[in-house]
Structure 1
């Protein structure tokens, strides 16, 4: 049964992988190593190449000439209370739609501000027509400046609470691509700017408030990420939010922190 609160743990699920082993050694150990594709883990001297897609692991058992590898994953679930869409153009090309699920139970103040800037805005200024002005491959894409223009884009700040508002909490971590988080200039300087991760960025935990996750259009995120940039990380072609809107979410649902959900 899924949790009814904004955050919860789903049930554990287990995957076994059997690997041929050319040494008859028996061993049992726990490990916290990360096993990416085509990398050799701690038993690499025994000519084993592990092919696992999980970035988490728990337990390995070597029996005779076969290694049985089990990994247990307890994915964290986040309740999506609201959804918004951004239709994106790069230069003259329509590249698609990004749909973002917002965590209104976890970060209600931040979500309220984001929804307001999507729908009605401040003095007529909304996210429509803004740009993703900062793009860093294998890190994040940043946008949302409804104040700055021209060379000043990326320096502006405004919110429905004033120029800045405080960090709401750091309950959700930057554990995967696709998380929506507030950009800031330091502690308690949230405004209108935000970024979307393209990889896990754990060094941002405790410094930026995560308040949503991309639920559709991760391919559009990657198209933006691949856009050539200048030395200041500004895209060579303008990445424009052509249109925005709120998608009615009558039945809240859950997303997880799994990177390939």
Structure 2
């Protein structure tokens, strides 16, 4: 899977924690919080972040916008979610590997949308800036 806007290695090894069909797949890793947070937010306050990118299918974003949270949540939308526009930050897009996102979306989950088997991010490559 290739994503626009990612730094080498920051997302590698993150496990998907929630898989909600026709909505999002979410990954998170408290061990990588600092590096990913610093890169994603680039030291900007929430009010300075670009919220113009919309939550279309295959967009990459985060719910981590305040430094007081302990974990970093990364999500990939699997369908358009206009209700999230201007609420959660989108900073990238899947440009290769949409089929993999769709395969992840089909895995068996428990009643809390947690995958029954481990699914993680092997690697992410920087393609270009948005």
TM-score in terms of structure 1 length: 0.41
How many corresponding residue pairs? 121
Task: Note the residue ranges of structure 2 that are not aligned, 5 or more in a row.
Answer: none
Query: Corresponding residue for 2:83?
Result: 203
CA displacement 1:105-163 (0-9 Å, x = unmatched): xxxxxxxxx51xx43xxxxxx4322201111001000113142xxxxxxxx8432379x
Q: Cα offset for 1:235? A: 0.1
Query: Corresponding residue for 1:132?
Result: 16
Matched, 1:101 2:101: no
CA displacement 1:41-95 (0-9 Å, x = unmatched): xxxxxxxxxxxxxxxxxxxxxxxxxxxxxxxxxxxxxxxxxxxxxxxxxxxxxxx
Query: Corresponding residue for 1:219?
Result: 99
Higher-Rg member (1/2)? 1
Corresponding residue to 2:110 among 230, 234, 243: 230
Say which SS state the counterpart of residue 120 (structure 2) adopts.
Answer: strand
Q: Cα offset for 1:222? A: 0.6
Partners of 2:24 and 2:59 lie apart in 1 by 9
Query: Corresponding residue for 1:60?
Result: none
Map 1:151-170 to 2 at 5 A.
157-158=33-34, 159-160=37-38, 166-167=45-46, 168-170=49-51
Q: Cα offset for 1:182? A: 1.1
Choose between structure 1 and 2: higher strand proportion. Answer: 1
Partners of 2:52 and 2:76 lie apart in 1 by 17
Q: Which consecutive segments of 4 or more residues in structure 1 shift more than 4 A?
A: none
CA displacement 1:166-199 (0-9 Å, x = unmatched): 331211111x210111123xxx327632101000
CA RMSD in angstroms comes to 2.8
1:193 to 1:134, Cα distance in 2 relative to 1, 3 A: same
Partners of 1:195 and 1:240 lie apart in 2 by 12
Choose between structure 1 and 2: higher helix proportion. Answer: 2
Question: Does the 8 Å CA contact 1:140/1:197 hold for their aligned counterparts?
Answer: yes
Partners of 1:229 and 1:178 lie apart in 2 by 20
TM-score in terms of structure 2 length: 0.77
1:142 to 1:245, Cα distance in 2 relative to 1, 3 A: closer
